[in-house]
Amino acid sequence: MAEKIGMIRWFLEELPKLRESGVIDSTTEESLQKHYQERIAAAPSLQKYFLLNFSIIGSVLIAGGIILLFNYNWDMFSKLTRILIAFLPIALGVVLSLYTLMASRSQSWREGSAILTSTGTAVLIALLSQIYHTGGTLSQFMTLVLLLALPLIYIFNSISLATLYMGALFMTPGSWYELNWLPMEFCLLLGILPFAGWHLLREKSPYQVWMRYLVMGFAVFGIMVFGGGYSRGVILFTVCAVFMLASLRLQDSGERMFCNPWLLASFFFLLVLMSFGTYTGGWILRLNRHGDASGILYFWLMEGGFLLVFLFLFIRDYLRKQVSFQHFMMLFLILVAFLGILLEVFNVSKIYMCFVMILYMGVFGVTLLMRGWRKNSMLAFNGGLLTWALLIGLRFFDAKIGLQGRAIAFIVFGLGFICANLFFSYKRGRIKSTEVNHAEQ
């Protein structure tokens, strides 16, 4: 948003020059000035963003301090006094929240209220378990705290509490000897998804970009907790396909790199998966043969969810006539993952899956090169080159090639990289100059 405001300011500075050179008349200049000045006034200022961020950091630090302060074991007090002290932080949270809502205060106040109420609840539960020495594990504690924090995220539209929620989710799975309460883990994840979806799909949301980062965390949590129930590899491949598909649309709409974290994350993760696949066949896709019915059920619920999102994105792009080779490559990626499972189930030799993965990686690299070429995208073009270099490097350099042969191959590939990029830059330059000439005519 700040970037767009900068562009608008630049455009406003350009308007008098445009009028002087006769491109626009004074009426148009005035209308444009009025329109864009209003947009600048309506946009949240950078100061507001800083204030919001600092209030979030401040609230988190205060919350942490309160927890530590109250969890000091004040055994000099009676049990009743300690119980009353335990209720203090939540009481403060309630007072602040009531004031915020009744006086309709700004988002910074709402963030503070959400965090203070949630922290108050956490302190209360922790202190009670301390007073009565009831024990309990960190995962049980965090599960309860998150369950109670979930409504507050919606009530206050609190992105800071949602961020903390995402981090704390990773503390809810039990350690190796504890049981994972999968229904509860699933509910915790499911509960936050409407909030995430709302901010992702709503163009005007100030948290849209930040939410793109957060959902990657939620996806990692889903893979970590539910993936092991049947085949973690399938979920990994599907998640990569979903994020890649979602990032393609953002890239096509000209979104900046840091606003589109899905593109690089899914691309590099996919490279890693494919590289392993070309070498180990279906090892990543191996099945958990000791999994119980509950684990398998939640695995398929998770996988089904990702597949639905994939389908939604694919159909949406199809209806908008924005389907490219990459879309089909992502569809094939999921099919390859399921083929891998089938081969695993029937204990087929891993060499077939290796071959499929090599073929897939090669075609994927070619489609990226084509995309780069067609759309004049240096990023996609280099992505294709990197995929091919990695495929050849990984798969064929472990063959019995001598040191001299390898050295020559490295030099040839290096030169190929540079030449391809130079040629590509030249092509882009030529296209740009043609566009300028057309505009001048």
Partner 1 sequence: MRNSDKIRLVCYVLAVGAALAYPITKILSFEYPSVPPKVYLFETKIYDPYDPMRGRYVRLNLNQNEVRLPNKNIELMIRRSSDRRCYAVLEKNADGTAKIVDLVTDIKQIPVGKDFLWVYYYYFKRDYDEKIHKQKETGVHVIQLPFDRFYLNEKLAPEAEQTISEGTRRGKVLVQVKVYQNGNFALDNLIVDGQPILERLRGKLAK
* Alpha carbon distance 119, 59 (integer Å): 10
Residue 18 engages partner 1 in binding (rule: CB under 8 A): no
Q: How far is the CB of 340 from partner 1 (least distance, A)?
A: 24
Choosing from 21, 27, 41, 177, the residue that interacts with partner 1 (CB under 8 A) is 177
CB 343: neighbour CB atoms within 10 A?
18
Choosing from 6, 16, 65, 151, the residue that interacts with partner 1 (CB under 8 A) is 151
Q: How far is the CB of 218 from partner 1 (least distance, A)?
A: 22
Q: How far is the CB of 191 from partner 1 (least distance, A)?
A: 13
Q: How far is the CB of 383 from partner 1 (least distance, A)?
A: 41
Q: How far is the CB of 150 from partner 1 (least distance, A)?
A: 9
Residue 182 engages partner 1 in binding (rule: CB under 8 A): yes
Map residues 27-66 to x or -, x wherever contact with partner 1 holds by CB under 8 A.
Answer: ----------------------------------------
Q: How far is the CB of 82 from partner 1 (least distance, A)?
A: 11
Choosing from 41, 42, 103, 399, the residue that interacts with partner 1 (CB under 8 A) is 103
Contacts for 73-82: CB closer than 8 Å, 24+ residues apart: 73/130, 79/131, 82/127, 82/131
**Helical segments of 283-402, H only:** 293-319, 325-345, 350-375, 378-396
Residue 156 engages partner 1 in binding (rule: CB under 8 A): yes
* Alpha carbon distance 19, 27 (integer Å): 10
Residue 84 engages partner 1 in binding (rule: CB under 8 A): no
Size of the site for partner 1 (CB under 8 A): 46
Residue 294 engages partner 1 in binding (rule: CB under 8 A): yes
CB 188 within 8 A of CB 147: yes
CB 289: neighbour CB atoms within 10 A?
7
Q: Which sign does the torsion angle of CA 290, 294, 295, 296 carry? A: positive
| Tokens describing residue 402 | 């001598």
Residue 106 engages partner 1 in binding (rule: CB under 8 A): no
CB 184: neighbour CB atoms within 10 A?
16
Nearer to partner 1, 83 or 409 (CB): 83
* Alpha carbon distance 440, 244 (integer Å): 38
Residue 440 engages partner 1 in binding (rule: CB under 8 A): no
Choosing from 7, 46, 68, 415, the residue that interacts with partner 1 (CB under 8 A) is 68
CB 139 within 8 A of CB 176: no
* Alpha carbon distance 223, 239 (integer Å): 9
For residue 159, which of 69, 59, 296 has the smallest C-alpha distance?
A: 59
* Alpha carbon distance 435, 432 (integer Å): 5
Nearer to partner 1, 142 or 235 (CB): 142
Nearer to partner 1, 188 or 244 (CB): 188
Choosing from 55, 117, 266, 275, the residue that interacts with partner 1 (CB under 8 A) is 117
CB 358 within 8 A of CB 365: no
Q: Which residues fall within 8 angstroms of residue 162, CB to CB, at 6 or more apart?
A: 153, 192, 195, 196, 214
- Identify which range of 7-15, 45-53, 125-133, 420-428 contacts partner 1 by CB under 8 A: 125-133
Nearer to partner 1, 71 or 434 (CB): 71
Nearer to partner 1, 207 or 237 (CB): 207
Residue 296 engages partner 1 in binding (rule: CB under 8 A): no
For residue 182, which of 222, 231, 235, 136 has the smallest C-alpha distance?
A: 222
Residue 130 engages partner 1 in binding (rule: CB under 8 A): yes
| Tokens describing residue 245 | 């598909």
Residue 284 engages partner 1 in binding (rule: CB under 8 A): no
**By the criterion CB under 8 A, which residues form the site for partner 1?**
67-68, 71-75, 83, 86, 90, 94, 97-98, 101-104, 117, 121, 124-126, 128-130, 132-135, 138, 144, 148, 151-152, 154-156, 177-180, 182, 290, 292, 294-295
